[in-house]
Structure 1
Amino acid sequence: MGTLQLSSYALSSFSTSLNFNYITNSHKTLKTSKHPRFSRGKIRAVGTIPENESQSTDPEEPPFVALAFVSSVLLPDGTPDVHFRKACGGQKLRNIMLDSNIELYGPYGRPLLNCAGGGTCATCMVEIVQGKELLTPRTDKEKEKLKKKPKNWRLACQLTVGKKDSTGLLVVQQLPEWKGHEWNYETISPEEYASELGLEFGSESS
């Protein structure tokens, strides 16, 4: 099992540091440093922020949900490949992923190999690692298609991420059936979680 600290350099509106505990399917023990971090080159993001603008924030920026998408394939050094994005709440996760160029369907991405959001093919399965409180409950289609899957597996085309004024962090495992690692979940209180992330979404500047 390895513990990784992920830091986003691509999103200037917030700063997040989150520990992920994962276990590789090969059961190899990964040796990590005391405070391992991803280098900037290992994180694919929507774009880069010029250094002279990175410190400025827009006080009128609408509320948003921060998202971290974890690829099913590990990087060559055995660490997860993470993609950071942000989006306004009230949208289907499927739309957020497709609009943000995040891989959703894997081998079922070609036309006619998926139902294009109808909830009948179950090829858009994702695993919710963190932030399930932001999501709408399982629909009847999800209950039918995912009845043999873990409770934190969802259909991206069926779930809505929060409301328009929602804020928070959502960590999503892409293509969970094809992932090369397992997650070790830890239950922490909301106070501990907020303290660990160091995030204050929606706060007003004095």
Structure 2
Amino acid sequence: MVVLQFNSLGLLLLPQTTKKCHIRLSQNLKLREGRKSYAINIDSQTSSISETTATTTTPDADEGPPVIDFAFVNSRLLPDGSPDVQYRSACGGQKLRDIMLENHVELYGPYARPLLNCGGGGTCGTCIVEVVDGNELLSPKTPKEKEKLKKQPKKWRLACQTVVGKEDSRGELIIQQLPEWKAHEWE
């Protein structure tokens, strides 16, 4: 197995056994059409590095199974000051809590122990997330959500009460994890 270590500025370590490899770096936080991705080609025989830029487009409705793309933004920033983002995909018709837990995305933060949260009943309010983009894909707020979040910003939701789309839904969501602990503000 070959391990490449790199940062946002470039490649830090290249094993001698590597002849050619492709590395994809996501440049933008948005998942919308026009997202740039970079492919860096490294040829160890000629010691050359070439970079190509390609712009991706949103797939047509007829391509592949219906899927919803997620960008989960961590509440803490990376050491360079950029947001820590995890990209995931899931089918619609599921609760946001289940999607986050199945994909190993931090949901409860300091409330992760079983006795500190209600396990999806909507009574504790520890699974709060902020919907930065894609609110139209989410179900309307439940009475439990309205009660728990009545003094909070309107973009905040309880992940255990929020259903993401329907089984045939497509789209993108940007979700801020643990908004009460976040180190940055959205513009």
TM-score normalised over the length of structure 1 = 0.63
How far, CA to CA, are the matches of 1:128 and 1:92 in structure 2? 14
Match of 1:17 among 16, 29, 35: 35
- Let me know the Cα RMSD of the aligned residues: 2.6
User: Is 1:104 aligned to residue 117 of structure 2?
Assistant: no
Match of 2:171 among 168, 175, 189: 168
More strand by share: 2
* Structure 1 residue 60, shift from structure 2 partner: 6.6
Task: Give the 3-state SS of the residue equivalent to 1:133 in structure 2.
Answer: helix
Report the counterpart of residue 72 of structure 1 in structure 2: 75
User: Is 1:61 aligned to residue 53 of structure 2?
Assistant: no
User: Is 1:88 aligned to residue 91 of structure 2?
Assistant: yes
The higher relative CO (CA closer than 8 Å, separation ≥ 6) is in 1
Cα gap change, 1:81 to 1:39, in 2 (>3 Å): farther
Computing the radius of gyration from Cα coordinates, the structure with the larger value is 2
* Structure 1 residue 61, shift from structure 2 partner: 3.0
- Would you say how many aligned residue pairs link Structure 1 and Structure 2? 141
Cα gap change, 1:88 to 1:72, in 2 (>3 Å): same
The residue type paired with residue 17 of structure 1 is R
Structure 1, unmatched stretches of 5+, are 9-13, 19-36, 41-56, 185-206
Contact 1:7–1:16 under 8 Å retained in 2: no
* Structure 1 residue 17, shift from structure 2 partner: 2.3
* Structure 1 residue 111, shift from structure 2 partner: 1.1
TM-score normalised over the length of structure 2 = 0.69
How far, CA to CA, are the matches of 1:173 and 1:101 in structure 2? 15
* Structure 1 residue 39, shift from structure 2 partner: 11
* Structure 1 residue 6, shift from structure 2 partner: 2.9
- Runs of 4 or more consecutive aligned structure 1 residues displaced over 2 Å after TM superposition: 4-8, 14-18, 37-40
Task: Give the 3-state SS of the residue equivalent to 2:168 in structure 1.
Answer: coil
The residue type paired with residue 5 of structure 1 is N
Q: Could you tell me the percent identity over the aligned residues? A: 63
* Structure 1 residue 5, shift from structure 2 partner: 2.4
Contact 1:72–1:176 under 8 Å retained in 2: yes
Structure 2, unmatched stretches of 5+, are 1-26, 41-58
